[in-house]
Amino acid sequence: MSIKTFKLPVSPSEFAKTLKKHIGAISDKPDLFPLSNNVLIEVEESRMLLTTTNGINFVRSRIEADSSETFSMCLPYKKMVALMGQLSDQKVKLKYDENDFLLEIKAKEGTYEIKGHDPVGFAKFPDSEAKSEWFQCSHAKFKEAVSSVVFACGNDDARPAMKGVYVEAGKQLEMTASDGSILSNYELKDSFEVYEPKSEIVNAESMKIVSGLNADEDVEAYSDDKNQWFEVGEIEICARKIDANYPNWRNAVPGGLKSVKVDSDLLKHSVDRALLFVNEVTKLVTVDVNHSFIEITAEDIGFECKAGEVVDLESEAQEKISLALHAAVLSSILSHTNKEVVNLKYVQPNRAVLWEHSAGFILQIPIMSNTY
């Protein structure tokens, strides 16, 4: 029989809400990966599986169902989300023609037909019996950690390792990301358990998808030789493992650092105002550390613009120093330190500086200038 009829097991709004969790694995360039702007819907006796993929990341979710039919549909993602989100909060009747790949939706408001595609052409979700549990942690902690490091990932295809987050699972659970000019490290101090001590590079986009979920359940991580999986309740995220060697990031951290404490929120506001006066090419801002305050100076000689502000230190500086830093990068760094007092650690004007917060640090490379 080519015509399948059944009821959607949840309300249209709940269905749309579940589909929206898949947005991170939807592509606007389906020519590069077939059907990457579609959702695969697999109806079985006890469940309905929803799968999306952009060719790199897969997202699959489960909805409990009670159906006497077993079949698959491949339908345009955005149209399904938009329509279901605007229907009344009641279960709707569906009729699907397997020959024409045509879905008919009957709701209180009316009847709608959506043309789909042959589900045979949709990429299969990478299941594996060889996968082993890697670690588990609370979603809140995972989200906080990812937010603190993923912004530092690079986007250079020539350096694939830098496009991911380096997750080190052992006695501690650490996440590190770098694009070569900044490096962010975050150490989870609680609410996690490691099942298999190992370190792997995880696709940054899959980390964003997992952290972007609104969930109370823990994040469970699995991996095998080829892929990594993250399970959060009824949602699964899978991405192909980045097969590369991550640089020894600890070698980038200079020794013999001196330290001062400063309110990162106050400093960020000062840097943001200085950004209005920096040279558009260099984006350079001068950070002068004095005994009891930091002076932020920005100047664009060509447009005769200049700004200077002072931010009091929370602790006295051991040694004065003048640093030339990229203002936009510094603003981004300070926005990922949770608006708390941070330690600015430094050794020389031409060496990396550290912005240390309670759960880790962010390393920044100064801009070389003729003041050195």
Question: For the chain, which residues make up each domain, given as ranges?
Answer: 3-121, 132-249, 254-364
Q: Which residues of the chain have pLDDT under 50?
A: 371-372
330-361 confidence digits (pLDDT tens): 999 999 987 789 999 999 999 999 999 999 99
| Two structure tokens written together for 323 | 């640093």
Provide the pLDDT for residue 66: 81
CATH architecture of the domain 132-249 equals Roll (3.10)
Could you tell me how far CA 98 lies from the centroid of its own chain?
Answer: 37
Residues 77, 39: Cα–Cα separation, whole Å: 5
Query: Which listed CATH number (3.30.420.10, 3.30.450.40, 3.30.559.10, 3.10.150.10) goes with 254-364?
Result: 3.10.150.10
Provide the pLDDT for residue 369: 55
Q: What is the DSSP string of 165-195?
A: EEEEESSSEEEEEE-SSEEEEEEE-SSEEES
Phi, psi of 173, rounded to the nearest 5 degrees: -120, 110
Provide the pLDDT for residue 1: 54
Give whole-number Cα distances, 205 to 164, 186, 229, 231, 268, in Å: 8, 18, 13, 15, 27
Cβ atoms 123, 145 nearer than 8 A: no
CATH number of the structural domain 3-121? 3.10.150.10
Tell me whether the CATH fold assigned to 132-249 matches the one assigned to 254-364. yes
